[in-house]
Amino acid sequence: MGNMNDAFYERFQKRWMETTDLPPQTVGPLTPYYKLVTKRLKVMPLPILILLSLGVIIALFFLLGSGVTFLTSLLQRGF
Amino acid sequence: MFDSLIIAVYSFARSFIGIITRPYETYRKIINKGTLWELFPIGALLSLYFGINALVKAPAFRPFVLTRHFVKTSVSVVITAFLISFLLWSIGRVFGGKGQYKRFFLGWSYTLIPTFFWFLFTSLLYVIIPPPRTTHPTGIALSIVFLTLSAVLFFWKIILSYLTLRFGLKLDLLRILGILLVSSPIIALYSIAMYRLGIFRVPFL
């Protein structure tokens, strides 16, 4: 039982060292919002990134209209 | 040596899935526990793209022309990866960053995966539906899909680059923004030089 507790403690300590390796990020009064955003980006960020990108591109479409096709043609030749 | 390579391929596969599903935790592991052997599978993945790029972009389907194009692209990407990562790491050190360059470079190498996907997807699309896009509704719809996918990969790349600077140099957000502010004009000048030399139109960063 003692060995098991030691092993558990060692694992806990290792994990603790890992997570406290960096001081927590704060951004003054915006810290709660920063934490809210990063919490969602730390695990499986793809759905949020897809929604965000779609929003940005639709906004760009309303701004440029059919000019988005020019941007696509430019990028398609860009590789 | 063979064992190290097998372990590296396994670690790479785990990290590859990890940077999609749990980027934060995975990057901590890459920087703290990753080995330089993992650069081999990353290099192999990039070589796959360089091969496809040579087939799509080389002016003639001749072994010499294809090989020359392959070598030109791969050498340029390797040099770019070293230069950009070293630039960011050096500026990061000036900003008070701590960490070895080799660990930072390993983290930076994983940021080339979104870039790889963008270039691969653009190359394949170039063959299937070559530009220019028209202003017809189908052209606009395809443009929106293409730009959305490009933006997703771009945001993913930003997250991974941020995590490289965060874990590789142990810096906070403000200092990371400072590094980007100082390095952006240099990267822009480098990109223009690459464009003028006819190597990259969109830089493979």
Write out the DSSP string of chain B. Answer: -HHHHHHHHHHHHHHHHHHHH-HHHHHHHHHHH--GGGHHHHHHHHHHHHHHHHHHH-SS--HHHHHHHHHHHHHHHHHHHHHHHHHHHHHHHHTT--S-HHHHHHHHHHTHHHHHHHHHHHHHHHHHSPSPPPSSHHHHHHHHHHHHHHHHHHHHHHHHHHHHHHHHH---HHHHHHHHHHHHHHHHHHHHHHHHTTS-SS---
Residue range B162-191, pLDDT digits in tens:
999 999 999 999 999 999 999 999 999 999
Q: Taking 90 as the threshold, does the pLDDT of residue B134 lie above it? A: no
Predicted pLDDT at A14: 82
CB B108 within 8 A of CB B88: yes
Q: Please give the ipTM for the structure prediction.
A: 0.88
Distance CA B66, CA B63 (A): 5
Nearest residue on chain B to A34, alpha-carbon basis? B173
Could you check whether the bond before residue B132 is cis, i.e. omega within 30 degrees of 0? Answer: yes
Asked if residue A2 is part of any domain, the answer here is no
Here the tokens at position A72 are 């696509």
Predicted pLDDT at B201: 82
For the four alpha carbons of B7, B9, B13 and B16, in that order, the dihedral sign comes to positive
Asked if residue A62 is part of any domain, the answer here is yes
Asked if residue A70 is part of any domain, the answer here is yes
Provide the shortest C-alpha distance from residue A52 to chain B (in Å).
Answer: 8
Asked if residue A14 is part of any domain, the answer here is no
Asked if residue A16 is part of any domain, the answer here is no
Domain count, chain A: 1
Asked if residue A36 is part of any domain, the answer here is yes
Domain residue limits at A37: 25-79
Cross-chain Cβ contact B159/A73 below 8 Å: no
Predicted pLDDT at A3: 67
Asked if residue A56 is part of any domain, the answer here is yes
Q: Given A44, A46, A66, which is nearest B135 (Cβ)?
A: A66
Taking each helix axis from N to C terminus, what angle separates B112-128 and B137-169, rounded to the nearest 10 degrees? 160
Q: What value does the mean pLDDT of chain B take?
A: 93
Residues in contact with B114: Cβ distance below 8 Å, sequence separation at least 6, in sequence order: B153, B154, B156, B157, B160
Q: What percent of chain B has pLDDT over 70?
A: 100
Residues in contact with B85: Cβ distance below 8 Å, sequence separation at least 6, in sequence order: B101, B104, B105, B108
Q: Given B130, B131, B144, which is nearest A68 (Cβ)?
A: B144
Cross-chain Cβ contact A41/B151 below 8 Å: no
Asked if residue A40 is part of any domain, the answer here is yes
Cross-chain Cβ contact A76/B144 below 8 Å: no
CB B36 within 8 A of CB B104: no
Q: Given B125, B151, B172, which is nearest A76 (Cβ)?
A: B125
| Residue segments in chain A with a per-residue pLDDT below the cut of 50 | none
Distance CA B71, CA B65 (A): 10
Q: What is the largest CA-CA distance in chain A?
A: 70
Q: Given B131, B142, B151, which is nearest A77 (Cβ)?
A: B131
Q: The pTM is what?
A: 0.91
Residue range B24-37, pLDDT digits in tens:
999 999 999 999 99
Cross-chain Cβ contact B132/A69 below 8 Å: yes
Distance CA B71, CA B58 (A): 12
Report chain B residues whose CB lies below 8 A from the CB of A53.
148-149, 151-152, 155
Residue range B43-86, pLDDT digits in tens:
999 999 999 999 988 878 888 999 999 999 999 999 999 999 99
A-B CB pairs within 8 A amount to 108
